[in-house]
Amino acid sequence: MTLLWTQTPVAYGHVPGNDGIGSRYPVTGITHSDATALAARLGGRLPRSAEWEWMAAGPLRRCWPWGDAPWQPAYANLRDSGHNTVTRVDTHPDGATPEGVLDVAGNVWEWTASTTMGDGVIIRGGSYAAPPLYAQCTFLNAAPAELSSPGIGLRVVREP
């Protein structure tokens, strides 16, 4: 089944009633349950971890969302990229997937719908504070469901 993905992590401008300054910055600082509710409010859901990985790596199993070339600052907002905080969701177009999905690697981790033992949730993609290894398509991390962090956001997926 083909899924429809938001082109970027959900930004404040995507949320009704939150237009204005910061509208292109990713929504962060929300718990997993808040992210799940926001995804539903926007007409979709959080992706499962395996779905996220398929979107990031594609059928050719890319190492990185942009391909197999090693990370460089033009591709993603990761540690040592010079930003040290979140950036606009359209800041790194060179790091897009071949399908045009942006910010899959870096900027903010993305909540998924996949849980772990002990009330954890799998997060994917790395953040502005993560080393490049964490932004590879196959890298898994987890966070407590109740965590609200400036380095975790969300992406919405929808079934057509």
CATH number (domain holding residue 152): 3.90.1580.10
110 and 152 Cβ atoms separated by less than 8 Å: yes
Token representation of residue 2: 């083909």
Q: Which of 11-20, 36-45, 70-79, 85-94 has the lowest mean pLDDT?
A: 11-20
Task: Map residue 90 onto helix, strand or coil.
Answer: coil
- CA–CA gap between residue 106 and residue 82 (Å, rounded): 13
Range of the domain at 55: 1-160
Q: For the chain, how many structural domains are there in total?
A: 1
State the burial class of residue 131 (Cβ atoms within 10 Å of its Cβ: 0-12, 13-18, 19+): exposed
Q: What percent of the chain has pLDDT over 70?
A: 98
pLDDT band for 1, please (50, 70, 90 cuts): low
- Three-state secondary structure readout of 62-88: CCECCECCCCCCCCCCCCCCCCCCCCC
Task: Give the global pTM.
Answer: 0.95
End-to-end CA distance of the chain: 9
